[in-house]
Each structure stands twice: as C-alpha cells, then as structure tokens.
Chain A
Amino acid sequence: MTFLGMPDARPPQHGAGHLASGVPFPKAAREALGDTQQRTNLRRATTTIRGKRAAVVAELPDWEELREAGRAIKERTLRHLPALLLRFEEEFTAAGGTVHWARDAYEARRIVTRLVRATGEREVVKVKSMVTQEIRLNEALERVGIAAIETDLAELIVQLGHDEPSHILVPAIHKNRSEIREIFVTEMPGVDSGLSDEPRELAMAARRHLREKFLSAKVAISGANFAVADTGTLCVVESEGNGRMCLTLPETLISIVGIEKLVPTWADLEVYLQLLPRSSTGERMNPYTSLWTGAHDGDGPSDVHVVLLDNGRSAVLADEIGRQSLACIRCSACLNVCPVYERTGGHAYGSVYPGPIGAILSPMLTGVEANPTLPYASSLCGACYDVCPVKINIPEVLVHLRGQVVDSRRGRLVPTAEQLAMQAMGWIFADPQRYEAAQRLAGLGSASVALGADKIRALPPPLSAWTSARDAPTVPAESFRAWWRRTRGEEAAP
C-alpha cells in the first residue's frame, strides 16, 4: 500500500512532464510579446471572459461565503488526504472500478499504456484533461502506436495544429477563427478549402470529424474535476458534450486524477459546481456535468479505471505556505485577469499550467531549481487573488517561492550580482549613518549620469533595462531627512 500524500521518511518526490521548458520566462516572454496577432487574440478573449465572469459573480449575494466554503473544504480535504484517498479507493473498487496509484508521470504513463494495450485498440478518444497534458500522455501513447484523439474543440485545434495548449480552459485561446480555419483546412481529413471562418461552420466541421471517432472508439481517457471520497464518484464538468460522449459510449474508461481532486462528500460538490462555471466560462451553470461511480452492466463503460497521480503533489502538500495551491479547481479566472498572462500568453510559461496559478504550481511540482524564473513572472498586482474562487493567495505563494529560489543559490561559491546588491543594501539599511552616506553618494552619482538634466535617459546595466523605455528621475542633492535636519534640527528618537 502506498500512502500518497502522507509525510513519510523519504523526501517528497518532485513531478515531471510538461511543467518546465528550460527557457527563462523573460526570454520566452520577449518573443511572445512581439506576436501582434496573438496579443490581439488574447486581449480580445481575456477581456470578454473577464466581463462575463464579473457579471455572473456579481449576481450572487453569497459569493464571498461560497469562496470561503470552497477554500475551507479543500483545506480540510488536504489535511485528511491519506484517509480520504483510501476511502475513495474502497468505494470506487466496491462499485466495480479498478484503482491504480502512480507516484509520477512515468508510472502513470506506464499504467495507462498497459491498460490500453490490453484492449488491443490502436485509437482512443480523450476528454479534455489538464493532467494528461501534464504527464504528456498523448506522446507516450503515440510512441507505442496508439493514437489519442482530443475531442474537446479547443484541444483538437491545438492537436491538429501540432501546437501546445496555452490556457487551462481554452487551450487554443491564442488562435483566432481565421487561424483555426486554416488549421482545419490543412489538417482535418475530409475538409474542403471552401470552409469559412464562421464559428458555426468550424464547429460543424469538428463535429463531423469527431462523430466518427465517438462511434468507433472502444477506449476513452479522461481526467476529472472532482473525485468524491464518500461515494467513489468521479465528476467531469464541460461545455460541449463531447466529454459526455467519451464517458458513455466506449467499453473501457481510464481516468487520470491528481490526488488533490478529492472532495470528502457528495454535498461538497454543491459549492464547487457553483464556483467553477461562474469563474471559468462566466456561465451560471455549465451545460454538461457527468458523474460516474464504478461500472454498471449495460450502462456506460463496463471496464472502468482510475489512476491516482501524485507527480509532485505530495511535495507541494509538504510546503506549509505553498500547499494552498492544491485547492486549485483549474477555473483559469486568474489567467484571464492577469496583466502578464494577457500580454505574454501561456506558452511563455513553458508549462501546461500557465498564468498566475502556473507560476506557483509549476515550480512547486518540479521544485524551484527546475523553474527558477516563474515565481518572478508577476508584478504582484494581486488581481489573481481577488478572483480566485478558492482564495489561493497567489502573491503570497509567489513571494514565498522567490525565497526558495534565493535560498537555493545561497551556498554557491561565487555569489550572484543580485545577492551582492541585496547584501550591500541590507548593510546600508542596517545603519542610519551609512544609509545617509549612501543617499549622498546616490545624489552625486545621479548628477554625474544626468549631466545637468532633470531626468536620466540611460543608466548602466542592470538598470539599463529600466531606461530601455523609461526615463529615470535624478536623485536630488538634498534628501528628505537632510531637509528636515536643516530646517527643523534632529529630534531625539522616542
């Protein structure tokens, strides 16, 4: 028996998969910022969805209480996670399903591959799922000759375009309809070049393509939005109904579920089924909510599996400040309000989880050494915290992770320039006399750079990044404290 989520003697293991790219965020962002088509697409899409969310959230007089309930239930879940996981396993098994445990992405891929191979099928249909993207399941199946067909419209666009998802809810948010039309015409079998970019025509083309797949598929793969411990029930929330097709038509259903997806009881769903659609699509209620408990003869898939995945989640759980991130219900409200995400898009984050939640979740799943620039990919404006339906204090976790990044570099033989600067400033701030001397020096230095002007147009590195687009003020010869002393004298400290 593996006690996932329970502290044990071994250090918690970090996750692997589509969680880090190796490209520093500032570099990836710089490139993305230059993509004017993507900038336009993202601005339009995030502005629209922000407005829709704000309108439906404002309708609920008890929104703040719902948020607090959403936070509290997840906190309780995480506190009792080992027991709740075992309860889920017991109930799911009793209902005729099979439970598998996966420590990491590698184990999960192996389990799923083995299960699909056992059916003899070469093609599987997929319900939109973040966790399967996280573990790069499609690529693993492809390597053994199994084609995984994405059935969510936006995931299908990404898959056909040989692209990566860039948003949690709308993976193809970076594409506009004319770009989607082009992908369909070149990549979708049986589509003629007369296809227009009218959304309805595009949806109908996808529908024709997918209908065939639904009717022939024998195996489906899904994630889950929630897993109810008390009843052993899995829940998928969606808009298109394509998920419902996958969850009901095939003979075999394999669901990969992160261990943080649990809720203790059926009644807890009441809270999240209000919070999630309003936060994510800006709808009062999502069109399709599918719930299933084990296997039933003649009613849906007869061979039902769930793979409970850790992939770094236990390491997150072990972090006292960071563990609140495991409450995330993947609504993507934080992406839609984030001024950084809106401009850089999702790919710059190098992880399947982009935006503010990705900037904390990805480095915690991989460990900050593998993702050292993401905690800094934020101006700490706090808009994400305000909209989070489960009240994850994202700025607090970002700053906490910056501390981990800094601490991970402390032991090095040669300190970084930033370390030296921070040490120097700490030394200066430790003594008012030193501080005042530094002020005078700054005034002199600034005057020598400004050359008589009242603004500085070019500073030396690393501050040249400031003056690349902004003038800098000069440091006046007389500081505030010098003025006070000159005009009022130095009063005794209290």
Chain B
Amino acid sequence: MGVDRLRIALFITCFNDTVFPETGKATVRLLERLGHTVEFPFAQTCCGQLHFNTGYQAECVPLVRRFVDVFQGYDAVVAPSGSCVGMVRDYHARVAEVSGDSGLRAAVAQTAPRVHELSEFLVDVLKVTDVGAYYPHRVTYHPTCHSLRLLRVGEKPLALLRAVRGIDLVELPGAEECCGFGGTFAVKNADTSVAMLADKVRHVLDTGAEVCTAGDNSCLMHIGGGLSRLRAGTRTVHLAEILASTESAVVEPVRNPLGGGW
C-alpha cells in the first residue's frame, strides 16, 4: 500500500483537544497540505496516561479498551504528543496484562505499533523532512523526555525544523535535561518541579529565542507558564504549529505572551 493511500486517524489527545485545540488544527492542516486525508474518530477520549502514571492502573483498563476499539481499523494513528504516544506504545500492553483479558492483549499488540508521534510519522512513514513550512522567528527546540527516551525520536524534529524557511533555529543548552513537568509531579512535588523549571527557563532565555518549541504541549505549558509568569518575552509553540505555518497561512498567531488583560 502506498503512503498516499494510508487511512490515517488523528489521535488528538484529551489535553490538546481541551486546552490546545490550535495544535490539533495545525496537525490536520499540515497533513492535508501534504496530500493526506485525516479522519477524526469522535469516540476517542484519553489514552490513560494520567491515571497510569499516578498509580491508578485498574482505572486505565476501560480507557485502553476504548482506545483500541476506536483506532484499530486504521493504517496509521497520528498524535501531536510524544508522551501520549509513549503511553500507548510502551504501557498499553502492561495495562492489558493487568486486565487479564487476552483479547485486549491481542488488540493492543495490533494497534499500539501503528500509533505515531507527529515527527516520527512525517519522517519515518511519510518520508518527508521539508514540509513546505515558513516561520520567520528565532526558535529553540526542547526535546521532551518521552519523545527523547521513550520514543527515541532523536533528530527527527530538528530535521523537520531545519527545513523550515525563514526560521532561525538555535540550539538549547542542556536540552536533554527534563523541564520538571512530569504530569502530577508538577503539583505533587511542585517545589522540585519549579527548581528544574528554573534551569530550563534559564537555558531557553540564554538562546535569545523568541519561541521555544517541543512535541508536547504538556511540557510546553510548564515551560511557557514559567516564562509567562516571569514576563520573559519568550513564548512556547507546539512543533505542529510551526510546521503548519506557511507564507500564505500563518497558522500560529503571534499572541502577546504577557497577555492582554493583566
């Protein structure tokens, strides 16, 4: 089957769906611009990561069941999130194990390998690095831990960013160090989380970048929340929004990072 005949589903992730819909819209526009049709199954909700990583494994079973039910008919499932894809690929099998349901185990084994993080999908499956994007800003890229160490996306996001016209891509010092988000860690261990954030923010500001990007809005919400609190003058933008941006359609509006109504 050719790459252009793939039946592609968008796994938006509950977090992007609710808090960062622009990232989802950008993902759809990008894939359509590359000539693909994307379906959005409305029955999708959450992959279970929040429950699983906090210790509520039993509560994940129905979520994993829903996930495979919704996505098992597709050739490829694409998500603009490294950590949610990491959850599906690395831990859905564990949840299925906990459930003791051999049917669920088999369904997970079939579905999970077809779930791709956006940069992996573009580079590995669609075999493109130049997606025709234009983004005239100074940008630094933070490789989120789950993209880096669970999915091993490696250089793929950077290869995509390097091909963007007009971009001034600058290397982030200490890039591979965790930003301190860590899901419920950011609240349960808020002091340590913020201590980690302080160093990430320092590194981001050292680059002189206008935009810090990544493949996960959860980490960006943390880094961006810190930058915004400091009125640092640097904003966070998801990778999908940069890649979706073109000369004729600037997807990502240049918002005032300090907000309008302080």
Chain A residues within CB distance 8 Å of chain B: 25-26, 29-30, 33, 339-340, 343-344, 375-383, 385-386, 399, 401-407, 418, 422-423, 425-426, 428-432, 435, 439, 442, 450-455, 457, 462-463, 465-466, 468-473, 475-476, 478-481, 483-485, 488, 490-491, 493-494
A426-B182 contact given A385-B149, A402-B53, A469-B194, CB 8 Å threshold: no
B187 engages A493 (CB within 8 Å): no
B188 engages A376 (CB within 8 Å): yes
B187 engages A466 (CB within 8 Å): yes
Bound-state Cα–Cα, A4 to B88, Å:
39
A339 engages B180 (CB within 8 Å): yes
Closest Cβ of chain A: how far from B1's Cβ, in Å?
17
A376 engages B46 (CB within 8 Å): no
A480 engages B189 (CB within 8 Å): no
B56 engages A399 (CB within 8 Å): no
Bound-state Cα–Cα, A488 to B10, Å:
14
B149 engages A383 (CB within 8 Å): yes
Residues of chain A within 8 A (CB-CB) of B192 are 26, 29, 33, 340, 343-344, 377
Bound-state Cα–Cα, A276 to B191, Å:
33
B59 engages A426 (CB within 8 Å): yes
**Which of A380, A451, A463, A484 is most buried by chain B, counting CB atoms within 10 A of its CB?**
A380
Residues of chain B within 8 A (CB-CB) of A401 are 55
A432-B182 contact given A376-B188, A382-B150, A453-B259, CB 8 Å threshold: no
A435 engages B14 (CB within 8 Å): yes
Residues of chain A within 8 A (CB-CB) of B17 are 439, 479-481
Residues of chain B within 8 A (CB-CB) of A452 are 261
Q: Does B195 contact A (CB under 8 A)?
A: yes
B260 engages A454 (CB within 8 Å): yes
**Which of B45, B74, B222, B224 is most buried by chain A, counting CB atoms within 10 A of its CB?**
B45
Closest Cβ of chain B: how far from A315's Cβ, in Å?
19
Partner pick for B178 among A381, A465, A473, A488, CB 8 A cutoff: A381
**A–B Cβ pairs within 8 angstroms, 28 of them:** A26-B189, A29-B191, A33-B191, A340-B189, A344-B192, A378-B182, A380-B145, A381-B145, A382-B148, A382-B149, A399-B55, A402-B55, A418-B54, A423-B59, A425-B50, A426-B59, A430-B45, A430-B66, A432-B45, A435-B14, A453-B262, A468-B194, A470-B226, A470-B229, A480-B12, A485-B42, A493-B43, A493-B70
Residues of chain A within 8 A (CB-CB) of B146 are 382
B41 engages A26 (CB within 8 Å): no
Bound-state Cα–Cα, A386 to B222, Å:
24
Residues of chain B within 8 A (CB-CB) of A472 are 221, 225
Bound-state Cα–Cα, A470 to B187, Å:
11
Chain B residues touching A, majority SS = helix
Bound-state Cα–Cα, A465 to B176, Å:
25
Residues of chain A within 8 A (CB-CB) of B186 are 465-466
Q: Which of B18-26, B114-122, B126-134, B154-162 contacts A (4 or more CB under 8 A)?
A: B18-26
Produce 1/0 per residue, B222-237, CB < 8 A to A.
1011101100000000
Residues of chain B within 8 A (CB-CB) of A466 are 186-187, 190, 225
Residues of chain A within 8 A (CB-CB) of B42 are 432, 481, 485, 490-491, 493
Residues of chain B within 8 A (CB-CB) of A453 are 259-262
Partner pick for B183 among A380, A470, A475, A480, CB 8 A cutoff: A380
**Which of A404, A423, A425, A426 is most buried by chain B, counting CB atoms within 10 A of its CB?**
A426
Residues of chain B within 8 A (CB-CB) of A376 are 184-185, 188-189
Q: Does B181 contact A (CB under 8 A)?
A: yes
Residues of chain A within 8 A (CB-CB) of B260 are 453-454
Q: Does B62 contact A (CB under 8 A)?
A: yes
Residues of chain A within 8 A (CB-CB) of B70 are 493
Closest Cβ of chain A: how far from B56's Cβ, in Å?
5
B57 engages A403 (CB within 8 Å): yes
Bound-state Cα–Cα, A471 to B188, Å:
17
**Would you list which residues of chain B between 58 and 77 have a CB under 8 Å from chain A?**
59, 62-63, 66, 70, 73-74
Residues of chain B within 8 A (CB-CB) of A381 are 145, 149, 177-178, 182
A378 engages B55 (CB within 8 Å): no
Residues of chain B within 8 A (CB-CB) of A405 are 55
B25 engages A454 (CB within 8 Å): no
A386 engages B149 (CB within 8 Å): yes
Bound-state Cα–Cα, A404 to B98, Å:
13
Closest Cβ of chain A: how far from B83's Cβ, in Å?
9
A383-B178 contact given A29-B189, A422-B51, A469-B197, CB 8 Å threshold: yes
A434, closest chain B residue (CB): B45
Closest Cβ of chain A: how far from B119's Cβ, in Å?
18
Bound-state Cα–Cα, A422 to B183, Å:
14
**Would you list which residues of chain B between 216 and 262 have a CB under 8 Å from chain A?**
221-222, 224-226, 228-229, 255, 259-262
Bound-state Cα–Cα, A33 to B221, Å:
23
